[in-house]
Amino acid sequence: MVKAIVGANWGDEGKGKITDMMAREADIIVRFQGGANAGHTIVNDYGKFALHTLPSGVFYNHTTSVIGNGVALNIPVLFQEIQSIVERGVPVPKILVSDRAQMVMSYHILFDQYEEERLGGKSFGSTKSGIAPFYSDKYAKIGFQVSELFDEEILKEKVKSICEKKNVLLEHLYHKPLLRPEDLMKELREYREQVEPYVCDTSAYLWNAVQNGKNILLEGQLGSLKDPDHGIYPMVTSSSTLAAYGAIGAGIPPYEISKIITVCKAYSSAVGAGAFVSEIFGEEADELRRRGGDGGEYGVTTGRPRRMGWFDAVASKYGCRIQGTTDVAFTVLDVLGYLEEIPVCIGYEIDGRVTTEFPPTAKLEKAKPVLKVLPGWKCDIRGIRKYEELPENCRKYIEFIEEKIGFPITMISNGPGRDDIIYR
Spatial CB neighbours of 215, under 8 Å, sequence gap ≥ 6: 1, 3, 25, 26, 27, 28
Q: Which amino acid is at 202?
A: T
Applying CB under 6 A, which part among 38-46, 69-77, 143-151, 246-254 lies near ligand GDP? 38-46
Q: 20, 40, 99, 312: which one is catalytic?
A: 40
- 256 neighbors 213 (Cβ within 8 angstroms): no
Give the bridge partners for 353, in sequence order.
350
From candidates 43, 72, 97, 149, binder to ligand GDP by CB under 6 A: 43
Applying CB under 6 A, which part among 8-16, 156-164, 359-367, 396-404 lies near ligand GDP? 8-16
From candidates 13, 99, 137, 148, binder to ligand GDP by CB under 6 A: 13
Q: Look up 175 and say whether it is catalytic.
A: no
CB nearer to ligand GDP: pick between 274 and 347:
274
Q: How many residues bind ligand GDP (CB under 6 A)?
A: 25
CA distance 82 to 85: 6
- Judged by DSSP in three states, 2 sits in strand
From candidates 300, 322, 336, 346, binder to ligand GDP by CB under 6 A: 300
- Shortest Å, Cβ 293 to ligand GDP: 3
- 366 neighbors 351 (Cβ within 8 angstroms): yes
CA distance 273 to 304: 12
Does 294 participate in binding ligand GDP (rule CB under 6 A)?
yes
From candidates 41, 64, 65, 102, binder to ligand GDP by CB under 6 A: 41
Cα angle at 331 between 327 and 332, to 5 degrees?
A: 175
Q: 12, 99, 227, 334: which one is catalytic?
A: 12
Class of residue 273 by CB neighbours under 10 A (exposed 0-12, middle 13-18, buried 19+): middle
Task: For 172, list phi and psi in degrees, rounded to 5.
Answer: -95, -30
Give the bridge partners for 270, in sequence order.
307
Applying CB under 6 A, which part among 67-75, 234-242, 388-396, 407-415 lies near ligand GDP? 407-415
Does 126 participate in binding ligand GDP (rule CB under 6 A)?
no
CB nearer to ligand GDP: pick between 261 and 374:
261
Applying CB under 6 A, which part among 40-48, 96-104, 245-253, 361-369 lies near ligand GDP? 40-48
CB nearer to ligand GDP: pick between 293 and 309:
293
Q: Look up 40 and say whether it is catalytic.
A: yes
From candidates 3, 4, 8, 15, binder to ligand GDP by CB under 6 A: 15
CA distance 326 to 324: 7
CB nearer to ligand GDP: pick between 14 and 369:
14
Does 12 participate in binding ligand GDP (rule CB under 6 A)?
yes
Bond preceding residue 234 cis, omega within 30 of 0: yes
Does 293 participate in binding ligand GDP (rule CB under 6 A)?
yes
CB nearer to ligand GDP: pick between 17 and 307:
17
- 97 neighbors 70 (Cβ within 8 angstroms): no
Applying CB under 6 A, which part among 9-17, 84-92, 116-124, 394-402 lies near ligand GDP? 9-17
Q: x-or-dash pattern for ligand GDP, window 321-350, by CB under 6 A? A: ----------xx-xx---------------
CA distance 54 to 52: 6
CB nearer to ligand GDP: pick between 251 and 415:
415
Spatial CB neighbours of 268, under 8 Å, sequence gap ≥ 6: 9, 10, 276, 278, 279, 308, 309, 310, 311, 312, 315
CA distance 196 to 51: 22
| Residues designated catalytic | 12, 40
Binding site for ligand GDP (CB under 6 A): 7, 11-17, 38-41, 43, 293-294, 300, 331-332, 334-335, 413-416, 420
